[in-house]
Amino acid sequence: MPLLEVQDAVVRFGGVVAVNEANFTAEAGRITGLIGPNGAGKTTCFNVITGLQKPTSGTVHFDGRNITSTPVHRRARRGMARTFQRLEAFGSLTVRDNVRVAHDIAAGFRGVIRPAGADVDALLERVGISDYAQERADSIPTGTARLLELARCLASEPRLLLLDEPSSGLDDRETDAFGELLASLASEGTAILMVEHDMDLVMSVCDTIHVLDFGSVIASGTPAEIRADATVQKAYLGYSDDVEGTRSDLDAIGDTTVIPAVEAS
Ligand SMILES: Nc1ncnc2c1ncn2[C@@H]1O[C@H](COP(=O)(O)OP(=O)(O)OP(=O)(O)O)[C@@H](O)[C@H]1O
Ligand SMILES: [Mg+2]
């Protein structure tokens, strides 16, 4: 049974159908990609999973329990953690204190009372931002701030980690290190669900990919299956097999760093 199961999720904002009968899963020990053009509904799906957005219809199951109506903080206690596309750290605190706050809250939930210092330093080290420990969070580069958000998530030792565009702002070397970190987290049993526009990263680290377009899941499969999927090609790049002179596969995905945004029409 998958750790996370989203079934027939629909989210309507007035006349806009942001999520349309979406079905997808995420499993323990696996990295799952949730990809799609701008406005496809990826962040809205994260909001449904974490409880920030009530779905118009549909269900979310976590660890076999229906959590569709469970408040955000209870989902967090059960083992969900997320990062935000729009960064959400405490700007006036240092990087270290940001992680310390997250650590202390999580430790309080677990009833563990012990000095946080070594744990916090280990988290900063693990995500690779120890050098920024004493900097204020509002003064660090965007990529570093994303890693700070990740460290704050890891402080709660989540079973499901939801990452919304985690690599934006990272350079190539940092992105490689980030991919290795994700693989290491998954190898420890964490389920990772990642929204990401960097297709090189998605194709190299994900075990399974779900593709959203206009709120609907148009394809699910391994990176190789997604690359070869004609529907995905059309949604992303505006071409398909049946148009003369166009390409017949998604070789471009994985060679190009970022899939171009497609205007919603
Ligand atoms: N609170 C809201 N009220 C009204 N419409 C919304 C709201 N949140 C999202 N939308 C709309 O729902 C659709 C999906 O938005 P969402 O942010 O989930 O897309 P996304 O796939 O995360 O896009 P991006 O890649 O740009 O982050 C868009 O048309 C967006 O304008
Ligand atoms: Mg988004």
Q: What is the CATH number of the domain that holds 172?
A: 3.40.50.300
Of 101, 91, 90, residue with least CA distance to 123: 101
Helices (H) and strands (E) in the chain, counts: 10, 10
Å from CA of 166 to ligand 2 middle: 11
Same domain, 126 and 111: yes
Which two tokens mark 32?
């799952």
Among 157, 179, 214, which residue terminates a domain?
157
Could you tell me the distance, in angstroms and rounded to a whole number, from the CA of residue 145 to the centre of ligand 2? 17
More confident call, 88 vs 60: 60
Report the pocket of ligand 1 as residue ranges, CB < 6 Å.
Answer: 13, 16, 18, 36, 38-44, 85
Nearest to 168 by CA among 191, 213, 199: 199
For the chain, give the mean pLDDT. 88
**Spacing, Cα 44 to ligand 1 middle (Å):** 6
Q: Give me ligand 2 centre to Cα 41, in Å.
A: 7
The verdict on 67 and 85 lying in the same domain is no
**pLDDT category, 261, cuts 50, 70, 90?**
very low
- Do 36 and 131 share a domain, yes or no? no
Query: Of the ligands numbered here, which is closest to the C-alpha atom of 14?
Result: 1
Query: In a 3-state reduction of DSSP, which class is residue 265?
Result: coil
Q: Among the atoms of ligand 1, which is closest to the Cα of residue 165?
A: 27
Q: Is 17 exposed, middle or buried (0-12, 13-18, 19+ CB in 10 A)?
A: middle
Ligand 2 centroid to residue 23 C-alpha, Å:
18
Q: Check pLDDT > 70 for residue 240.
A: no
The total domain count for the chain is 2
Q: Decide: pTM greater than 0.85.
A: yes
Alpha carbon distance 49, 178 (integer Å):
23
Q: Kindly tell me if the per-residue pLDDT of 249 is higher than 80.
A: no
Are 178 and 259 found together in one domain? yes
Give the per-residue pLDDT at 116.
66
Q: Domain boundary at 157, 177, 209, which?
A: 157
Query: Among the atoms of ligand 1, which is closest to the Cα of residue 197?
Result: 25
Same domain, 56 and 185: yes
Q: For residues 172 and 64, what is the distance between their CA atoms, to the nearest angstrom?
A: 38
Residues 24 and 141 both lie in one domain = no
94 with 74, same domain: the answer is no
Structural domain including 203 reads 1-78+163-190+198-265
Inter-residue contact 233 to 260 (CB < 8 Å)? no
Give the C-alpha separation, 190 to 41, whole Å. Answer: 24
Radius of gyration of the chain (CA): 19
Q: Are residues 169 and 261 in the same domain?
A: yes
Question: Is the same domain home to 125 and 172?
Answer: no
| pLDDT band for position 114 (cuts 50, 70, 90) | low
Q: Are residues 186 and 57 in the same domain?
A: yes
pLDDT of residue 115: 60
Ligand index nearest the alpha carbon of residue 52: 1
C-alpha to C-alpha distance for 210 and 56, rounded to whole angstroms: 21
By most ligand atoms within 8 Å of CB, the mutation choice from 17, 42, 214 for ligand 1 is 42
160, 122 in Cβ contact below 8 A? Answer: no
Residue ranges of E strands in 108-226: 160-164, 191-195, 208-213, 216-221
Residues 263 and 171 in one domain: yes
CA gap 200, 257 in Å, rounded = 6
Residues 168 and 108 in one domain: no
Closest-CA residue, ligand 1 atom 8, reads: 44
Ligand nearest to the CA of 15: 1
